[in-house]
A = this chain, B = another copy of it.
């Protein structure tokens, strides 16, 4: 059977083939479906998936422009489906998937820089429709270009409700008696992984659940936001964190077949992997191997810690996805970890702007922004989150951005927008790198081999953190002229100070969270 598609899909867009097939038995496991796609320079095999009601789908992301042919076959049908389609030029906002560039940074496939400014809403897709729409509106007004969220529902403080849909067919544990006092008894890292009261068929996916997710991934994609998908997590009363290796692999392949063609997808193997008591490092390595084998596009891959970092030097890991380990000092070690693991450092959790009782969820906006800048001037990236509740008498059912999405109330998002602007102003789409300088200031220059041997660099960004200088003396050499700007990272003001050379003093206003930017004037 020959299928024709009139409407061109854009390069790095999702091309989908939907075909009928067998529905006897359990189509999720009983049959296979695969597509082979051929363009002028590309040939790629991708697995399809069963979408219920006798319909099978294969999704494909073309990475070049021009004509493609394809062939869909497998045990799902006696028929072989063949066809062709055209991949057109990407739309203006489509820069392709994000990939690692240099040692410590990211670019889109079209070469444009990706300065990651992430946020976290673990369970936003598991909330009511209206709440999800609110989250999307909030994201639209923000600077965030990455969001971390879970596929499996979340059972944790502030979030005891059942999700809108479950990922499997079956019966969940009765949630009627769960309160903020007893919810921990149902978390596996506390109770050792017993999930009584659940009755799931881990071989039959709830297609509604996954359809809801891919809709959101697609919407994020159109908004230019990377979907950092958390595949496993420990906040679980249903047993999805303890399904066993075979079911894990089935799940991973299903997720990759459905979501893998979206260019904005990143795979986060787990949130706080080290709290999932039933999985060993060997299990995680197996999971990584399943993903690497199943993902035809090589999306970015990492795994996120609670306490101990995973060994980010493992070859399958594309970047470090870290949570701070120390209460006081962590993002300040960004360059140390870059060197240790040889990979980009993304601080996906640096505590949340908030006011809840836990230390991970009650830093000020100022401290959040300070941590972002500390990471940034060392050539790293950080992630935002918010746990602000309106009153101190919490009911346990508040909607917090960190878990539910919704609205943002904090002070940091506006300042992150400003940080995004400063990053976009780096000359020639460059990236930052820490250099040794004075002990009491952090200095970034361009991360560019050309700059290495230059005594005086083209660009300097000095960050003064919590310190409060009235002024600062600079003295890089005698002759180079610099355009000097004072940057108030909190009040979001860039003040051009003029052109200076030799030794010069720059007034800085006795304020915290200040930066000074020097741009060499080229003759």
Contact B360 A392 (CB under 8 A): no
**A357 proximal to B (CB < 8 A):** yes
Question: Given A329-B329, A392-B509, A470 and B439 touching (CB < 8 A)?
Answer: no
A400 to chain B, nearest CB (A): 12
Give which listed residue, B327, B393, B394, contacts A440 with CB less than 8 A. B327
Contact of A466 with B392 at beta-carbon distance under 8 Å, contacts A327-B440, A357-B473, A473-B357 already known: no
**Of A54-62, A71-79, A102-110, A362-370, which stretch is located at the interface?**
A362-370
State the Cβ distance, A260 to closest chain B Cβ, in Å.
37
Q: Are B440 and A470 in contact (CB under 8 A)?
A: no
Contacts of A389 on B, CB cut-off 8 Å? Answer: 470
Point out the residue from B181, B392, B441 that lies within 8 Å of A507, measured CB to CB. B392
Question: Could you say which residues of chain B place their CB within 8 Å of the CB of A363?
Answer: 466-468
Q: Would you call A392 and B327 a contact (CB within 8 A)? A: no
Interface hub of A355, A363, A503 (most chain B Cβ within 10 A): A355
Q: Which of B359, B391, B438, B468 contacts A364 (CB 8 A)?
A: B468
Tell me the bound Cα distance from A328 to B467 in angstroms: 10
- The reply to whether the CB of A428 lies closer than 8 angstroms to some CB of chain B is no
Partner of A357, one of B181, B326, B354, B469: B469
Known: A392-B509, A508-B392, A509-B392. A468 touches B328 (CB 8 A): no
A295 vs chain B, min Cβ distance (A) = 36
Given known pairs A328-B328, A332-B328, A507-B392, the reply for A355 and B441 (CB within 8 Å) is: no
Bound: A466/B328 CA distance, A:
9
**A353-388, CB < 8 A from B:** 354-360, 362-364, 367
User: Once bound together, how far apart are the Cα atoms of A469 and B354, in whole Å?
Assistant: 8
* Residue A522 is within 8 A (CB to CB) of chain B in the complex: no
Q: Which B residues touch A471, using CB under 8 A?
A: 357, 392-394
A288, chain B: closest CB distance, angstroms: 28
Provide the bound-state CA to CA distance between A328 and B326, in Å: 12
A102 to chain B, nearest CB (A): 27
A164: chain B residues within 8 A (beta carbon): none
Shortest CB-to-CB span from A352 to chain B, Å, is 11
Q: How far in angstroms is the closest Cβ of chain B from A183?
A: 13
A364 neighbours in B (Cβ, 8 Å): 466, 468, 512
A355 to B514, CA, bound (A): 13
Determine if A521 is an interface residue (Cβ-Cβ < 8 Å): no
Query: A472 in the interface, Cβ–Cβ < 8 Å?
Result: yes
Q: Which of A329, A332, A367, A469 is most buried by chain B, counting CB atoms within 10 A of its CB?
A: A469
Q: Are B391 and A470 in contact (CB under 8 A)?
A: yes
The 8 A CB mask of A444-472 against B (1 = contact, 0 = none) is 00000000000000000000011111111
Residues of chain B with a CB closer than 8 A to A3's CB: none
Name the residue of chain B whose CB is nearest to the CB of A351.
B467
Chain B residue at minimum C-beta to C-beta distance from A353: B468
Q: Mark A487-517, 1 if CB is under 8 A from B, else 0.
A: 0000000000000000100011110100000
* A470 x B328 contact (CB < 8 A): no
Nearest-Cβ distance from residue A181 to partner chain B, whole angstroms: 8
Q: How far is the CA of A332 from the CA of B77 in the complex (A)?
A: 66
How near does chain B come to A292, taking the closest CB pair, in angstroms?
A: 34
Q: A378-414 interface mask toward B, CB cutoff 8 Å, 1 = contact, 0 = none?
A: 0000000000010111100000000000000000000
| Whole-angstrom CA separation of A465 from B466 in the bound complex | 15
Cβ contact within 8 Å between B359 and A439: yes
Contact at A466–B510, with CB atoms within 8 Å?
Answer: no
Give Cα A49–Cα B151 distance, bound, in whole angstroms: 82
Q: Is the CB of B507 within 8 A of A470?
A: no
Residues of B within 8 A of A439 (CB): 327, 359
B467 contacts A356, CB within 8 Å?
Answer: no
Q: How many angstroms from the CA of A468 to the CA of B354 in the assembled complex?
A: 7
- Chain B nearest CB: distance from A92 CB in Å? 41
Which listed residue (B181, B355, B358) contacts A510, Cβ 8 A?
A: B355
- Interchain CB contact (< 8 A) of A355 among B329, B360, B470: B470
Q: What is the distance, in angstroms, from A230's C-beta to the closest C-beta of chain B?
A: 22
A351 to nearest B CB, angstroms? Answer: 8
Q: How far is the CA of A359 from the CA of B470 in the complex (A)?
A: 11
Nearest-neighbour CB distance to chain B for A378, whole angstroms, equals 13
From known contacts A439-B327, A467-B362, infer whether A510 and B392 are also in contact, taking CB-CB under 8 Å.
Answer: yes
Known: A329-B329, A393-B507. 9 other contacts (CB 8 A): A328-B328, A355-B510, A356-B470, A359-B439, A359-B440, A362-B470, A389-B470, A392-B507, A394-B470
Q: Which 9 A-B pairs have the closest CB atoms?
A: A359-B440, A392-B470, A329-B329, A355-B510, A328-B329, A355-B470, A392-B507, A392-B471, A362-B468
Q: List 11 A-B contacts (CB under 8 A).
A: A328-B328, A329-B329, A356-B469, A359-B439, A360-B440, A364-B466, A392-B470, A392-B471, A392-B507, A392-B508, A394-B470
